[in-house]
Structure 1
């Protein structure tokens, strides 16, 4: 494993990695969050025979699902099939999916926080390490890089305290105010687990890491600065020098960009609520990843072309990785993803775009 800090990309470096490291590339590389998943019939065929946890915990199935979209579409990166909750059972947390994560015994006290284990790297999802190795082996001949990922501490804490998905996450938000010491103790444990979990993924073959902070947008800047910024920064700093670019994602968080700009990462993935041309000045020196509204892929080919070109033009003037502002919607027709890939690949950032 490379110990080089922020290596200078070579001409042979894959386009995605060049852009992730900050290069203003001739074309925007393309990958999609949830590109492996429920909109693909081949995924649903596997899902009909195996539960979600079985898919995640069986390396061969996780690798197969990770590779499925690459067989259909000319994507510039793969992301390993897993879930942000994957490292938590090793901490002693019982989790089911119905369909989203459900925590059997939500955390509501300091005593529960103290009872959580901080497992060694070897105990943390060894099945994921094997899935990464299997997937990397298949991708290597194609020159397609592999992304590993994890959940940011505050987002993991959101589920652990609330117990399941929620519209307002009122139990979690109350806990922050009522039990700040217990919250910080929980975030500290989740930070250490996340560092071990993400370093394990790099050692197993991940060539970039994305930190998902799905619920960061719930918070005002002061709350984010207290309960998110120091822990996210610690995780991202721990990955420095491993030779992989670090991507941070926060959804619904445009009000937090001045604080997010302080994070030690190379790229920030942004949602569709603000144009890239308005975001770039707020995140100086960062590669921007995004930010097509996922619902656009439910529209006609003409609309997909028009909206994708808007994003591509807004992304000019600095490093840009084309992605959605969030995950692929389950009712997305696969041929619409194929059309999007054609549009993005035909857009030259060095000259006037070709119209598809």
Structure 2
């Protein structure tokens, strides 16, 4: 049964298309937003980055708000997403992080002693700059009927980075740690779960209208390991976000083998990567909204290929509520005009049965 969306903040304003679809309405047009839409493929973003480091942009509310709003000034997108990073709450735990370009942990977790040294900060300590950026964006979007999505990393994915220390092809140190130090791993996941809850609830208090939980490395695990080290903690985070009037979105990358388990999570929207068609996914989530799942590399192709592949995804998304998105973040090489063509294509696709 479709969840009942809360009344809009302004009773004179219709509930935005994105939120209607996220709450389970099978809308006549698929709303569209794009992961990493605020970022490195846009020249206006690069202009800001030329005078401020990544962390300066994240931690300066005015800059984070500006970057969040940049794609909305250029494209008729159906939602904004806060400019930030999934690693943001870890700094308040005492973790030193650099980007080169991906995250680098100065002292990777290697023992229970390291885990016990991590702080569980009070909610107001975690990311007050992000909450202020949310308030700034909401003020700018007032009356425009464009909702703002907040986000964070799932406990498992945050643990993956903390233990591995940096990006990796196999994440062998992380996967070995789960087997060699399972009790320590659970202690770490407990802390990360509590911090994630406090961080995401802070975003909701500040005005975020939906939350996406990124589980970028869930696909590394087999079903039994996911059940042990991911499912209970992700469930707790999502349960803690219930009742806030914001739909909950979950993305697990490379995790098609886990969809029978992911179907047990309390959420409204399942975001799907590009590896499996939406028509194959929908039977696992008959009462949920699907989000996705164009391969980001398609946006490097000519316009006629973009339209062809977008139509394929749109047709696969029929039969239930669908939010159009990429299957992962937009690539830095993407020409902005190609994204504009994609948005135009999605906006022109009528999902009503008599038109298909």
- Place the TM-score, normalised by the shorter chain, in its bin: over 0.9
Corresponding residue number in structure 1 for 2:42:
40
Paired residue for 1:101?
A: 103
Q: Deviations over 1:164-216 (max 9, x none)?
A: 00011111110000000000000000000000000000000100000000000
Q: What is the CA–CA distance in structure 1 between the aligned matches of 2:220 and 2:198, rounded to whole Å?
A: 27
Alignment partner, residue 123 of structure 1: 125
Deviation of 1:353 (Å): 6.2
- SS of residue matched to 1:342: helix
Which among 67, 70, 92 is matched to residue 69 of structure 2?
Answer: 67
| Residues 77-129 of structure 1 deviation map (CA, whole Å, 9 limit, x = unaligned) | 00000000000010010111111100000001001111111001100110000
Alpha-carbon deviation of 1:352? 6.6
Name the Cα RMSD after superposition. Answer: 1.3
The corresponding residue for 1:170 is 172
Q: Are 1:206 and 2:208 counterparts?
A: yes
Give me the whole-angstrom Cα distance separating, in 2, the residues matched to 1:291 and 1:353: 22
2:5 to 7, 10, 27: 7
* Partner deviation per Cα, 1:324-356 (whole Å, 9 max, x = no partner): 0000000000000000010000001015769xx
Q: In structure 2, what is the equivalent of residue 290 of structure 1?
A: 292
| 1:260 corresponds to | 262
2-structure distance, mates of 1:65, 1:342 = 22
Structure 2: how far apart are the matches of 1:233 and 1:351? 35
Cα distance in 2 between the residues matched to 1:113 and 1:284? 39
- Structure 1 residue runs of 4+, over 3 Å off? 5-11, 351-354
Instruction: Determine whether 1:342 maps to 2:344.
Output: yes
| Distance (Å, rounded) in 1 between the aligned partners of 2:5 and 2:314 | 26
Preserved contact between residue 5 and residue 20 of structure 2 (Cα < 8 Å): no
1:215 corresponds to which residue?
217
* Alignment partner, residue 250 of structure 2: 248
Aligned residues: 350
Matches of 1:74 and 1:226, distance apart in 2: 42
CA contact (8 A) 2:14 2:145 kept: no
Asked whether the 8 Å contact 1:157–1:187 carries over to 2, the reply is yes
Question: TM-score w.r.t. structure 1 length?
Answer: 0.96
Contact residue 36 and residue 43 of structure 1 kept, 8 A: yes
